[in-house]
């Protein structure tokens, strides 16, 4: 479908990971840190991204090659050896730990646990350092909780709506640093949706 004049084309669908080998390859703190840094700051060499995440160029070069084997990163062009810049192959990903294959389910659960730990660690860091930020940032940042009574289909639909909204809003700023206002910072928004009580037992 053609995009109407003046409107941005819709973002491509998120790559959906189903290969347990790819999930296991991604389930490493350094590799997730590399993907996060490249996603936020754009193409970098192993040396440059190593400075961002506190790892050596040798370590980063090894893990970037591992990520490239499964299509998570790719060469951005130019440079040689460790001076080659790398970039992410896609903006985000999706996977599910609900799989009939036990190997896939275990790999997905391990990846989900590691990613959640990293997300929550960053949030904890924010709560501990927020006093160092200007008042405008302290006032804008939020911690909100909502309890809703939903069916599985309604929860899935609500999550889909939120994901579509968040992916599209300010999307051009992710790829074009020149479009970012001078005061803009990378901001992480976490969306968790889960039942907080088990379903009632089925009648015999």
- pTM > 0.85: yes or no: no
Domain 16-179: give its CATH architecture: Orthogonal Bundle (1.10)
Per-residue pLDDT of the chain (204 residues; tens, 9 = 90+): 455 555 555 555 567 788 889 899 999 999 999 999 999 899 999 999 999 999 999 999 999 999 999 989 999 888 776 688 999 987 777 777 666 688 888 999 999 999 999 999 999 999 999 999 999 999 999 888 999 999 999 999 999 999 888 888 888 888 888 999 999 999 999 888 999 999 888 876
- Domain boundaries in the chain? 16-179
Question: How many residues are present in the chain?
Answer: 204
Report d(CA 176, CA 13) in Å as an integer.
20
Report d(CA 72, CA 66) in Å as an integer.
9
């Amino acid at each position: 479908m053609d995009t109407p004049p003046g409107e941005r084309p819709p973002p491509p669908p998120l790559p959906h990971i189903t290969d347990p080998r790819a999930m296991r390859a991604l389930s490493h703190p350094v590799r997730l840190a590399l993907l996060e840094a490249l996603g936020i700051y754009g193409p970098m060499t192993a040396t440059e991204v190593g400075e961002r995440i506190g790892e050596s160029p040798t370590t980063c070069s090894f893990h970037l090659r591992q990520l490239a084997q499964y299509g998570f990163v790719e060469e951005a062009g130019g440079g040689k050896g460790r001076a080659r810049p790398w970039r992410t192959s896609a903006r985000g990903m999706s996977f599910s730990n609900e799989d009939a294959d036990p190997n896939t389910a275990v790999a997905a659960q391990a990846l989900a646990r590691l990613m959640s730990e990293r997300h929550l660690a960053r949030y904890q860091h924010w709560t501990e350092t927020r006093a160092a930020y200007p008042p405008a940032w302290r006032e804008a940042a939020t911690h909100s909780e909502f309890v809703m009574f939903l069916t599985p289909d309604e929860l899935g639909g609500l999550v889909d709506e939120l994901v579509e909204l968040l992916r599209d809003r300010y999307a051009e700023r992710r790829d074009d640093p020149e479009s970012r206002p001078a005061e803009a910072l990378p901001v992480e928004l976490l969306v968790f949706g889960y039942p907080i009580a088990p379903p009632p037992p089925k009648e015999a």
